[in-house]
């Protein structure tokens, strides 16, 4: 499949270069897509800049209506988008269908939001209004784990707020996003949305460009630091949703048969390639061995296969680099004396790993200290509630976390002490477009979702009017 042009200035354009997209389930080239040169990246920014004055002055109701039309286009082409998504990302087709539905739903929610003027003083002396205005050109850079829904997370608030955008998907998963560009070409005014692809060679150009007002990035901490540096000269506004090494604390009063499948799902969604996935599972000593056995049994029965195959529960890792990294973490744990149930490679093409449940591990092991971003469940033994809090917080990350218990008050007392942007009780990765999401520590800057996330795409201005 080769028909994946870029969207620049309202036109579908071929790239000055080409990019091969590999299907991670077969290691074969799935698509050849357009890849931008520096000149084309500059054209995309220029198109967004040129479209900004008219778009920013467009009534918000019309901007919201355009976002609804984008959602409609996703709905009308959902089956096609899901198949492209599975082919390039690897996730099972039902998960891809879910991502497409989430992208549509997020856009529809953003289209209901507005940023009304807030009056903070109105008396005999003065009227003070707090208003929000669009920033200008936004660059959105999307990770490879959820290419379509992350694109929606950036397009929706950027457009509703009155900004224009240049969107760049990850080089290993550009096809779904480029196809979206073709679907919305006649919906969005020329230059308001531009979608280009690269080979990880245009990031610094985009994020340092003088005409870019804001960068919204989802990806690794290392790349987030580079973006902060590249935007420092012009003090660009930033939203950085970075990595997590989320702690899950499982107390000794849970019902193992009920909780174990939920823990597995929280760790293994999208083959573990989720920033908010549970990656450090602290299990109280009294139930540690029984929980380990229950999770190992679930892992053993999980069907690992091509995401296009019916019944596949886990697909492959998305790319060879991540595949080799996760293999290395599992091998390192074995060498350190950990017990590993599963974690084997499979005698077939594709970046497949059996899900691994790793026991007899603690802090200091790479598989605990590093974000695995793969099908790995490290189980860490703890004894007291206070100990669990201290150890869960002993990390540079702070994206999410959860506490599991049959005693709600006990769980809440622990949850309130976890240093993370989101903490769940008896659930994990439960998110929605109306719920703000933010990372603490090195898991990010700024907020996504909800009114708070929309506000990130605006400049606050105060109008202070004397009456005397």
- Active-site positions read 241, 275
Which bin fits 31, alpha (ψ -120 to 50), beta or left (φ > 0)?
A: beta
What is the rounded CA–CA span in Å between residue 281 and residue 360? 12
C-alpha distances out from residue 134 to 63, 111, 344, 465, Å: 12, 16, 50, 22
**For residue 235, what is the DSSP state?**
T
C-alpha distances out from residue 381 to 169, 255, 291, 391, Å: 39, 17, 11, 11
Angle, helix 408-415 to helix 385-393, in steps of 10 degrees: 30
Q: Helices (H) and strands (E) in the chain — how many of each?
A: 15, 22
Backbone phi, psi, residue 77, to 5°: -120, 30
What is the rounded CA–CA span in Å between residue 306 and residue 287? 35
How do strand 339-342 and strand 356-361 relate by DSSP bridges? antiparallel
R_g of the chain computed on alpha carbons: 23
């Amino acid at each position: 499949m080769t028909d994946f042009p870029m969207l620049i200035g309202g036109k579908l354009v071929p790239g000055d270069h080409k990019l091969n997209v590999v299907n991670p389930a077969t290691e074969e080239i799935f698509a050849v897509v357009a890849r931008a040169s520096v000149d084309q990246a500059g054209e995309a920014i220029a198109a967004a800049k040129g479209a900004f004055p008219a778009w920013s002055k467009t009534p918000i109701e019309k901007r919201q209506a355009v976002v609804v039309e984008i959602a409609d286009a996703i709905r009308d082409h959902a089956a096609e988008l899901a198949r492209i998504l599975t082919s390039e990302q690897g996730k099972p087709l039902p998960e891809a269908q879910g991502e497409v539905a989430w992208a549509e739903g997020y856009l529809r929610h953003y289209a209901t939001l507005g940023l009304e003027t807030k009056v903070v003083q109105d008396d005999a002396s003065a009227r003070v209004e707090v208003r929000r205005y669009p920033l200008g050109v936004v660059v959105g850079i999307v990770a490879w784990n959820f290419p379509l829904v992350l694109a929606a997370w950036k397009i929706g608030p950027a457009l509703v707020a009155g900004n224009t955008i240049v969107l760049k998907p990850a080089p290993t998963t550009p096809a779904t996003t480029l196809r979206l560009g073709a679907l919305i070409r006649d919906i969005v005014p020329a230059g308001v949305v531009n979608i280009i692809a690269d080979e990880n060679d245009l990031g610094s150009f985009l994020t340092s460009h003088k005409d870019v007002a804001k960068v919204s990035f989802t990806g690794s901490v290392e790349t987030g630091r580079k973006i902060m540096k590249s935007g420092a000269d012009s003090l660009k506004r930033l939203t950085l949703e970075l990595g997590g090494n989320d702690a899950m604390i499982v107390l000794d009063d849970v019902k193992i048969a009920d909780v174990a499948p939920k823990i597995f799902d929280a760790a293994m969604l999208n083959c573990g390639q989720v920033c908010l996935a549970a990656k450090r599972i602290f299990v109280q000593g009294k139930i540690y061995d029984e929980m380990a056995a229950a999770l190992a049994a679930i892992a053993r029965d999980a069907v690992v296969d091509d995401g296009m195959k019916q019944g596949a529960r886990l697909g492959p890792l998305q790319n060879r680099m991540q595949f080799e990294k996760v293999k290395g973490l599992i091998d390192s744990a074995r060498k350190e004396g950990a017990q590993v149930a599963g974690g084997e490679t499979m005698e077939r093409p594709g970046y497949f790993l059996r899900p691994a449940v790793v026991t007899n591990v603690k802090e200091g092991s790479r598989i605990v200290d590093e974000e695995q971003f793969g099908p790995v469940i490290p189980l860490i033994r703890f004894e007291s509630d206070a100990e669990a809090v201290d150890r869960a917080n002993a990390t540079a990350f702070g994206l999410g976390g959860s506490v599991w218990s049959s005693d709600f008050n006990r769980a809440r007392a622990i949850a309130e002490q976890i240093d993370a942007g989101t903490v769940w009780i008896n659930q994990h990765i439960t998110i929605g477009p109306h719920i703000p999401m933010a990372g603490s520590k090195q898991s990010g800057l700024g907020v996504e979702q909800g009114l708070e996330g929309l506000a990130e795409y605006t400049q606050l201005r105060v109008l202070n009017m004397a009456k005397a």
